Amino acid sequence: MNKIFSLKNDLKKLSNPKKAEGFKRFFKTGKNEYGEGDEFLGLNVAQVREVAKKHLQKLTYDDLQKLLQDKIHEYRLCALMILRLQYEKADKEEKKKFVDFYLKNTSHINNWDLVDLSCEYILGNFLLDKKRDILYKLAKSKNLWERRIAIVSTFEFIRHNQFSDTFKISEILLNDKHNLIHKAVGWMLREVGKREEKLLEKFLEKNCQKMPRVMLKYAVEKFEKKKRKKYLNC
């Protein structure tokens, strides 16, 4: 049996039409919405992950490319999960190839869950000990998903107590027009604040008046009530 057909068949066996319809609304697939045209099988992340593990050793770059180009959301998600798992097992040289492949396919990493479940584990991890110019280029992209990749990739840096790129990229994105970027930036700032609250406060003192409301609310979510109110009223 064809490798891709086998993987798709395993995913189709788990399909849930009722959930699929709900996902279309949840992931904003209507006309002129950010996920316009996306189609779903109705699988949750855990189900897709199990299928990815089953097919992990079977698929090549060419196979993953074909899955990423498919209109079915879960096929693309499964491809990214396989890429992530393969990346984790790869040596240093091979990791660079996975990152290059990932960056070549950002046009197919085209919804927030696809970004969030992949970028920090592949691109963010790879850049831990390297120059991070590519993130600044992505942060200035016209592509919504590339901008989200730029900020969410810094979650891996945050986990290693490296915060400067999160703050710098957040400043680049302060005037972004899209709600999904506001949420992502606020989320990453909140993660910094959970580790180094004083650093987040310093950023907020400088920028809170410029920050979109959603971004600010996400950023201060873990503050105690009085401090949270102070910044929400800045």
pLDDT in tens, 158-194: 999 999 999 999 999 999 999 999 999 999 999 999 9
Which tokens belong to 132?
């991070």
Q: What percent of the chain has pLDDT over 70?
A: 100
Predicted pLDDT of residue 5: 94
* CB burial of residue 68 (10 Å; 0-12, 13-18, 19+): buried
Output the pLDDT for position 45. Answer: 97
One-letter amino acid of 69: Q
- pLDDT for 234 beyond 90: no
- Predicted pLDDT of residue 119: 98
Tokens of 111: 């919804």
> Do 100 and 202 have their domain in common?
no
4 and 96 share a domain?
A: yes
Instruction: In whole angstroms, give the CA distance from residue 195 to residue 216.
Output: 17
Q: What is the pLDDT of residues 215-226, one digit of tens each?
A: 999 999 999 999
For 121-132, letters b (16+ CB in 10 Å) and e give bbbbbbbeeeeb
Name 95's Cβ contacts closer than 8 Å, sequence gap at least 6.
87, 126
Total number of domains constituting the chain: 2
| Domain stops at, among 52, 74, 109 | 109
Where a domain ends, among 109, 132, 163?
Answer: 109
pTM: 0.95
Which of left, alpha, beta for 106 (phi over 0: left; psi -120 to 50: alpha)?
A: alpha
Domain that holds residue 126: 118-234
End of a domain among 109, 131, 157? 109
Is residue 139 located within the same domain as residue 229?
Answer: yes
Q: Same domain for 154 and 82? A: no
Are 101 and 124 members of one domain?
no
Among candidates 232, 91, 218, 208, which has minimal Cα distance to 151? 218
- Of 25-34, 195-204, 208-217, least confident by mean pLDDT is 25-34
Which residues, 6 or more positions from 121, have their beta carbon under 8 angstroms from its beta carbon? 84, 87, 88, 156
Percent of the chain with pLDDT over 90: 95
153 and 58 in a common domain: no
Instruction: Give me the pLDDT at residue 187, please.
Output: 98
Are residues 15 and 94 both part of a single domain?
yes
Residues 108-118 have a mean pLDDT of: 97
One-letter amino acid of 112: W
Confidence of residue 58 (pLDDT cuts 50, 70, 90): confident
Q: Could you count the other beta carbons within 10 Å of the beta carbon of residue 198?
A: 8
pLDDT value at residue 114: 98
77 in the same domain as 42: yes
User: Over 214-233, what HEC string results?
Assistant: HHHHHHCCCCCHHHHHHHHC
**Cβ partners under 8 Å of residue 83, min gap 6:** 64, 98, 101, 102, 118, 122
Round to whole Å and give the CA distance between 145 and 107.
Answer: 8
CATH of the domain at 88: 1.25.10.90
Q: Are residues 71 and 126 in the same domain?
A: no
pLDDT tens across 132-163, in order? 999 999 999 999 999 999 999 999 999 999 99
> Is the model's pLDDT at 1 over the cut of 70?
no
Rounded Cα distance, 133 and 204, in Å = 24
Tell me the average pLDDT across 30-58: 94
